[in-house]
Structure formats: C-alpha cells, structure tokens
Amino acid sequence: LSEDQLLTLADYEERARAILPSQMFSVLFGSDGASGFGGNTSNLAAFRSTRLRPRVLAGVGKRNLSTTVLGHPIDFPVMLAPVGFQQRVHPEGEIASARAARVARTVFTLSTGSNYSIEEVASGAGGSLWFQLYFFRDRALNERLVQRAEEAGYQALVLTVDHLGRSKEMEIRYDFDQFNKRIVHTLQRERIYRNLTTMDMPGVPTRGPESFRGAWEWDLNWSDVDWLRARTRLPLVIKGIQTAEDAEICRERGVDAVVVSNHGGHGSPDAKGTLETLHEVVDAVRSEVEVYMDGGVRQGSDVLKALALGARAVFVGRANLWGLAIDGEEGVQRVLAVLRSELDLNMSLCGVTDVEHVIPSLVAPFWARMADGNSP
Ligand SMILES: Cc1cc2nc3c(=O)[nH]c(=O)nc-3n(C[C@H](O)[C@H](O)[C@H](O)COP(=O)(O)O)c2cc1C
C-alpha cells in the first residue's frame, strides 16, 4: 500500500504489521482472535455486532463535531489514549503523537511509562495534555509525578486501575522477557523510563520493565483513590472501569470522569467488550461523572456508536501507534483525520447533526436485539 492508499485504519494496521518486527506487532497489539488477547477480540466484536439505525431527512447540512471534556474544548470526540514507550515504534515517540493531537485539537494522554518526560512533552508539543499515572507503592513517588504534571500544565490526571497481571501463557507464548531485553536496545539509552530516570529520588524503579512493574501498588484500592484525590487540584479520571458497581463508587467518591476500558484487551482475556459495558456505567453515574470509553475503536461509525450508548468521547490506543510507526507525527495526524472524516460522514448518513446529541436509539446493540427475540 502506498501512502495515498492508506484510507482506513485497517490499512494503517496492515501497513504497521508489515513494517514492524512481527514479535513486536503481536506483543503490542495482538490480532483479532490472538491467543491471550480475548479482551481485544471482544472489544472488536462488540462494535461489529452493534449496528446503526440511520435516520433520514434530518437536515444534516451543517454538523457539529466539537465538544468538551472536563470543560476543555476538543475539535471532535476522539482523544489519544496513554500508550507506553512510544519510541518502540518511532524515534520521536510521544512528542510526535502529542504534536499530532495538538494539530487535531484534541487531547494527548502521556503514560507514566514514556520515553519522553512530562516536561519534554509539555515543552516539545504543548496542546491539551493529560497525565496517566501508574500508582506506585512509594507514595512520595506518586506525589512527585502528580506535582510535575501540575507544574507542567497538564489538565487532568488519569489513574489506570486495570491491567495488574499477565498470564504465564502470555509470558511464554509471546516471550516478554526476551522481547523486553531486545527492545531496550532499540531505544535511546537516556529515554528508557524517562519520567523516572530524570528524578533525583532514592529507590526509583528504573532497572527495566520488571523493576517498573514490580514497584506498582498491587494492593491498589479505593482508599488510594481518596488519597490521590486529596493531593491534586487536577480533575481525576479513573481508567479501567468495567462495571456499574465500580462506576457507582466513582460517583460517590467524587471522581470527575471514568474511562470504560479493559486496557485494549491486555487485561482479562474473558472481559466483556467495552462497548457492551458502556450503557451500564453511563446509567450508574447518573450524569454526575463524564464517561469516556476505549477499546476497539477502528472507524468513525464506532465513535458514533459509543456516543449513542452514552460516551462523551472515546480514546484510541493502537491506531495512534500504527500511524506513529508508519510516519511519525504526520501518520498520527492522518489517522485522526481519517476518524474525523468518517465520523462526519456517518453523522450525515445517520441524521445526526451534533455529537453532543446522539440518541441511544441510533444503535441496535446485539444484546437488545437478543432481548427482542431477534437473532444477533
Ligand atoms: C502497546 C500499548 C501500550 C499501552 N500502554 C498503556 C499505558 O502505558 N497506560 C495505560 O493506561 N494504558 C495503556 N494501554 C491501553 C490504552 O490506553 C487503551 O486503553 C487501549 O489501547 C484502547 O484500545 P485500542 O488499542 O483498541 O484503541 C496500552 C495499549 C497498547 C496497545
């Protein structure tokens, strides 16, 4: 495929698969149906089996795609999810992705585990930045990271609460150990754990992936959310909510927003598709908490489906990296442009004029069709 033949995100995925080392592609992304990545397969299936119910004669000559997240305007309801160590696929890593988000006038979320630091991304890219925290046992380390994000002008703090384990099957099948060792040689030495190596603190976990993951708080619980809430003036977003029950607790605890997410299917292989979970979370928070979702968004119509089921906006993870791997900042810009124009087209095809007013009856989710006694 030449550049001008990259028309859909499926084309970007295919190209990325062709240019990245095959082990890297399967470890980072897993394919639809790949062993151990059942959550990703469910995410994709939920979108495929939820169909649109297009309305007509709705006067769609002018369409509004812009909205707000936590009070900040974005040009269309697609944001970039935190994706760790982006230099694995392109030397400019997070700087390139954040610049692309700025050009597209949307949010870029920086992972704790990044190859460009909180400060480097703020000064090298700017735009609307959110910081994603992996919560460490060392509370002083968490506090310092949050403080740095605040000082550098990040607009929200995203606490990731899922993805706490990895199966033996995954370790062996995908040979994470050898993969991590090999990958370290492809990164610029000074960029490994960039957020941490720049810190002058004792015990900061910088000795490779195992020390990084090994330093996480595996006992994370709701009192840690309260602890964090009390230590930041930034809005708090909880990423990884997958049930109404947990969404309800977020609401009670005054969390500002939640992301319905299963870490792109890197978590439990038996997790529901996130699109399926969305409506119960939306119901549970009773409009008091903003709800976003991610997992399996591959085309503009997917965004519309998520909005119909109550999401205020969606995030993309894999698609960001595919664009980045192919053509750096330009590639990510193009991925975002594809999603934007597909969303716009689908709005006009479905009689939708405003992303803030997408009604639930726009979709016929398979579970509703099942309840009606119709086959999926
Ligand atoms: C390669 C890769 C690395 C990721 N790294 C992180 C991370 O550092 N922090 C985090 O909260 N989520 C991380 N995620 C999960 C994404 O933020 C997001 O939830 C997921 O990719 C969305 O699904 P999608 O890839 O189908 O769009 C990662 C996902 C991928 C594919």
pLDDT digits (tens, 9 = 90+) for 216-249: 999 999 999 999 999 999 999 999 999 999 999 9
What is residue 376's predicted lDDT score, i.e. its pLDDT?
46
Q: Does the beta carbon of 77 lie inside 6 Å of ligand 1?
A: no
Atom of ligand 1 nearest to the CA of 296: 26
Catalytic-role residue among 90, 163, 263, 279: 263
Catalytic site residue 72? no
Distances, alpha carbon 99 to alpha carbons 15, 103, 107, in Å: 22, 6, 10
Contact 340, 34 (CB under 8 A): no
Q: Give CA–CA dist 153/155, Å, rounded.
A: 6
Distance 263 CA to ligand 1 centre (A): 5
As a whole number of angstroms, the longest Cα–Cα distance in the chain is 65
Q: Does the beta carbon of 82 lie inside 6 Å of ligand 1?
A: yes
Q: Give CA–CA dist 94/146, Å, rounded.
A: 18
What is residue 269's predicted lDDT score, i.e. its pLDDT?
82
Q: Does the beta carbon of 296 lie inside 6 Å of ligand 1?
A: yes
- For the segment 129-149, the average pLDDT, to the nearest whole number, is 97
Count CB neighbours of 287 within 10 A.
10
- For the segment 13-25, the average pLDDT, to the nearest whole number, is 95
Helix intervals (H) in the chain: 9-19, 22-28, 38-49, 93-103, 118-124, 139-151, 168-173, 176-186, 194-197, 209-214, 222-229, 244-252, 274-285, 300-308, 318-350, 366-371
Name the band, by pLDDT with cuts 50, 70 and 90, for residue 76.
Answer: very high
What is residue 225's predicted lDDT score, i.e. its pLDDT?
97
- For the segment 117-137, the average pLDDT, to the nearest whole number, is 97
Number of helices (H), then strands (E), in the chain: 16, 12
Contact 342, 297 (CB under 8 A): no
Helices 318-350 and 9-19 pack at an angle, to 10 degrees, of 160
Q: Give CA–CA dist 99/231, Å, rounded.
A: 29
Q: Does the beta carbon of 109 lie inside 6 Å of ligand 1?
A: no
Contact 282, 313 (CB under 8 A): no
The residues, ordered by sequence, that sit 6+ positions from 252 with a Cβ below 8 Å of its Cβ are: none
More confident: 59 or 4: 59
Q: What share of the chain is helix, strand, coil (3-state, %, to 5)?
A: 50, 15, 40
Rounded to 5°, angle at Cα 44 from 38 and 45: 85
Atom of ligand 1 nearest to the CA of 84: 8
- For the segment 84-109, the average pLDDT, to the nearest whole number, is 97
Distance 317 CA to ligand 1 centre (A): 5
Name the band, by pLDDT with cuts 50, 70 and 90, for residue 178.
Answer: confident
Contact 344, 78 (CB under 8 A): no
Name the band, by pLDDT with cuts 50, 70 and 90, for residue 111.
Answer: very high
Atom of ligand 1 nearest to the CA of 318: 25
- Whose CA is closest to 240, among 301, 165, 308, 178? 165
Distance 371 CA to ligand 1 centre (A): 32
- For the segment 364-369, the average pLDDT, to the nearest whole number, is 76
Q: Give CA–CA dist 213/285, Å, rounded.
A: 31
What is residue 372's predicted lDDT score, i.e. its pLDDT?
64
pTM given for the model = 0.96
Q: Which of 263, 294, 298, 314 to mutate to test the pocket of ligand 1 (most atoms within 8 A of CB)?
A: 263
Distance 93 CA to ligand 1 centre (A): 14
